Amino acid sequence: MITGIHHINFLVYDLDTAVSRCSALLGGTSFEYADLVDRGVRTAKADVGGTWLVLVQPTDPEGTPGQHIAQHGEGFFLMSFQTDDLAQQIECCSAAQIQSASAVRNGLDNWRVVDLSPTDFFGAQIQLTEELPTTIRPH
C-alpha cells in the first residue's frame, strides 16, 4: 500500500550551492550529506513536512543520474512513493501492468527502492521506497 510521498530528488551540478539555496528557502533547515558510490552520486537530504527533499550531484557521468543531468540539465529527477511492503507493492504494480525499470536496490540510509517504467507514468521518473528498520539492512 502506498502511504505517501517518501522523497523528491533534484539533480544539481554543485551540491553545496544547492544546499545553501534550499536551506535559505526552508528557513535554515539543515541537510544530511551521504555518498551513494554504487549510484555515482553525492547527496544531501532534508525532511520537509514529512517528505524528504534529496539533492543529488552526479559524480559518475556514466551512471543514470550522470547521464540524465548531461542530457536534461539540473532540475526535477524523480518522485518516490512510500510503501510499507515493497515486495507486495511491486506485485500490485505488476498485476496492473506497471513494470519495474530496475532491480530493488539499497538507497540512502535504510531505504530500499525500485524504479518504475517511465513509459507507464507519462515519462516521469517514479520510484517506490520502503524504509527498513535500521538494524536490518540487506546488502
- DSSP state, residue 30: -
pLDDT (tens digit, 9 = 90+) per residue, 55-103?
A: 999 999 999 999 999 999 999 999 999 999 999 999 999 999 999 999 9
Q: Is 100 exposed, middle or buried (0-12, 13-18, 19+ CB in 10 A)?
A: middle
Cell 529527477 -> residue: 77
- DSSP state, residue 23: H
Please check whether residue 41 is in contact with residue 63, taking contact to mean a CB–CB distance below 8 angstroms.
yes
pLDDT (tens digit, 9 = 90+) per residue, 95-128?
A: 999 999 999 999 998 999 999 999 999 999 999 9
What is the pLDDT confidence band of residue 137, given thresholds at 50, 70 and 90? Answer: very low
Cell 540524465 -> residue: 68
pLDDT (tens digit, 9 = 90+) per residue, 26-54?
A: 999 999 999 999 999 999 999 999 999 99
The pLDDT of residue 139 is 44
List CB contacts of 136: < 8 A, sequence separation 6 or more. none
Q: What domains does the chain contain, in order, with CATH numbers?
A: 2-131 (3.10.180.10)
Q: What is the mean pLDDT of the chain?
A: 94
